[in-house]
């Protein structure tokens, strides 16, 4: 996810039904770690055919657009230094 934001400056996360909590958790982790800012959140319902019941049921849907934070590059460099300090030292030469 971080690499995608780095390359594209924003990412759209979306989920249906029970998966909504997972997407919200991911968005909150990225925001709380200073990597992303919330640009847009929208909710809706989507009609989907229930194979078991043979009828259309409504499912909750969420879409979250996150943008690259101003601190993103600095945080990514700091994380790289923590994970591979010898690589960062070599890059500075």
CATH code, domain with 18: 3.30.110.20
What is the model's pLDDT at position 90?
A: 60
Q: Which residue segment(s) compose the domain that 41 sits in? A: 2-92
Q: What is the DSSP letter of 84?
A: -
Confidence (pTM) = 0.77
DSSP-assigned states of every residue in 65-76 = EEEE-TTHHHHH
pLDDT class of 82 with cuts at 50, 70, 90: confident
Largest CA distance in the chain: 65
**Would you say residue 36 has pLDDT above 60?**
yes
pLDDT in tens, 9-32: 999 999 999 999 999 999 999 999
Structurally, how many domains does the chain consist of?
A: 1
pLDDT in tens, 41-77: 999 999 998 888 889 999 999 999 999 999 998 888 8
């Amino acid at each position: 996810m971080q690499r995608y934001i780095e390359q594209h400056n924003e990412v759209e996360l979306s989920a249906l039904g029970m998966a909504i909590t997972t997407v919200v958790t991911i968005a909150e982790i990225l925001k709380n770690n200073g990597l992303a800012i919330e640009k847009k959140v929208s909710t809706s319902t989507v009609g989907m055919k229930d194979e078991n019941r043979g009828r259309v049921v409504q499912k909750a849907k969420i879409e979250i657009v996150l943008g690259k934070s101003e601190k993103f590059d600095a945080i990514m460099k700091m994380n790289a230094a923590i994970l591979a300090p010898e690589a960062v030292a070599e890059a500075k030469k």
